[in-house]
Amino acid sequence: MKMKLSVLHAAILAAMLATSASPVQAGLPFLNSDKTEMPTLAPMLEKATPSVVHISVEGSREARQRIPEAFRDFFGQRGQGEQRQEQPFSGLGSGVIIDADKGYIVTNNHVVQDADKILIKLKDGRSFTAKKLGADPQSDIALLQIEAKNLVQIPLANSDKLRVGDYAIAIGNPFGLEQTVTSGIVSSLGRSGLNMDGFEDFIQTDAAINRGNSGGALVNLRGELIGINTAILGPNGGNVGIGFSIPSNMMKNLVDQIIEFGEIRRGSLGVRGGDVNSELTEALNLKVSRGAFVNEVLPDTAAATAGIKAGDVIISMNGNAIQSFNELRAKIATLGAGQKTELGLLRDGKERKVSVTLQELASGQVAANELHPMLQGATLNNSDKGVEITELAGGSVAEQVGLRQGDIITGVNRQRVANLAELRRILEGRQGVAALYIRRTNDDLYILLR
């Protein structure tokens, strides 16, 4: 009886039978246990799928409604054009267990943002309430933790070694359909431009990714994590064969910072520039068509210290090719402050390498409700005097308890606070009243969080 194989399986079978073909990266094929020589991904997936979890969230978000001029007096909004209300929401997504012993789960920030309750459901049917340890909205990564035994973690691959054409398998819960698996290939690398304010270095894949896949796993044929699925590009939010994943190396760099510091400490190179294009190549007689062109090196920065100059083209980072300025920006920012990296440069037609120790980018804001529910509506950032409230939503819980934009938290319950990591450690799991010691302009005061 003849069997109709999918395009992927047919390609796998051809690769197995062609004696002159070089082996693919994942060492195909996976065979059935009965040795029938039928290519299958089932043995790999049986090991990988228990590490992918279903996430459901509940919470509330501030909704703004435009009020017609004639009705503003009725709402007490004279002179204002909108009314703000808290509205409940719920949502679904996916996550990946990266540390079974500590219960660490990675997902997308947009899956759990503003969530008051995060419920994790494992493949074996067990359910747990998760705690959010930290998040980075600009790269769309969040780290959760559950207290559970007998978890299965996924091994991490080196995503810098990916090539266009490598097989890719997406595992997640699209539309709430738990443990759904789709297959495809890596369509492109170093994609950016979906969110101009974010740090993007996406893996593009044609493995079907739909709503609910967010935060799920993209794996290679060994069952190793190569990416965290995060976005789709298509009409009405449906799959058209263009999906995007955050590379596993980028995810790990961010998660390691959250675990160590309680926040993201972005790396900074200190250059301004743009992509290498055909016009630039012709004008400067460059020998490359891809890379990050350096227009300006800022003084007293990591780039200046390393000897990088305006006119240089950065073509590699730690031996891996750099395709664009956005790719360089994302890799530098997510690698982290204080980290060392080797950059490959093209200067005056000659290649050279420089070692750079990254400085810290003045960023790293976090939503304060991640630390305490009474801080909802405030955004915190490290300052040289403590933890500063850099933004405060009008009418928010944080404003109602007496906090103001520009306040600096310098202590909690007579314990000194120098940064976000210390504030998180003090507030984490605390019962009862937390007394914040606040510096406001030239005044000192206490604000109680109950």
Active site residue 256: no
- Burial tier of 316 (Cβ tally within 10 Å: 0-12, 13-18, 19+): middle
**The pTM is what?**
0.68
CA 281 to chain centre: 33
Q: Which residues are 191's β-sheet partners?
A: 202
Is 180 strand, coil or helix? strand
Helix (H) or strand (E) holding 109: helix 109-112
* Catalytic one of 9, 60, 110, 160: 110
Backbone angles phi, psi at 405, to 5 degrees: -60, 135
Asked whether 335 and 256 are in contact (CB, 8 A), the reply is no
Q: Is 140 a catalytic residue?
A: yes
Alpha-carbon distance values, 251 to 139, 190, 231, 333 (Å):
9, 14, 15, 12
**Dist CA 358 CA 366 (whole Å):** 22
Which among 136, 139, 140, 248 is annotated as catalytic?
A: 140
pLDDT of residue 72: 52
Q: Which residues, listed in sequence order, are joined to residue 105 by a DSSP beta bridge?
A: 97, 144
Domains along the sequence of the chain with CATH: 7-40 (no CATH), 50-262 (2.40.10.120), 267-360 (2.30.42.10), 366-449 (2.30.42.10)
Q: Which of 214, 245, 324, 396 is catalytic?
A: 214
Q: Three-class SS string for 301-350?
A: CHHHHHCCCCCCEEEEECCEECCCHHHHHHHHHHHCCCCEEEEEEEECCE
Residue 16 sits at φ, ψ, to 5 deg, of -70, -40
**Residue 198 CB burial class (10 angstroms; 0-12, 13-18, ≥19):** middle
pLDDT tens, position by position, for the chain (450 residues)?
Answer: 444 444 445 544 444 444 344 433 444 555 555 656 678 899 999 999 999 999 999 988 766 555 555 555 554 444 445 555 678 889 999 999 999 999 999 999 999 988 999 999 999 999 999 999 999 888 899 999 999 999 999 999 999 999 999 999 999 999 888 899 999 999 999 887 666 456 788 999 999 998 889 999 999 999 999 999 997 776 666 678 889 999 999 999 999 999 988 888 888 898 888 888 888 888 878 888 889 999 889 888 999 999 999 999 999 999 989 988 888 988 998 898 899 999 999 998 889 999 999 988 754 445 565 677 788 778 787 777 888 888 777 777 888 889 998 899 999 988 888 877 778 778 766 667 888 999 998 888 988 887
Distance CA 365, CA 113 (A): 14
Task: Determine contact, residues 367/299, Cβ cutoff 8 Å.
Answer: no
Residue 215 CA to residue 96 CA, distance in Å, equals: 7
Q: Please indicate whether residue 372 is annotated as part of the active site.
A: no
Q: Which residues share a beta bridge with 85?
A: 63
Structure tokens at 47: 């090991």
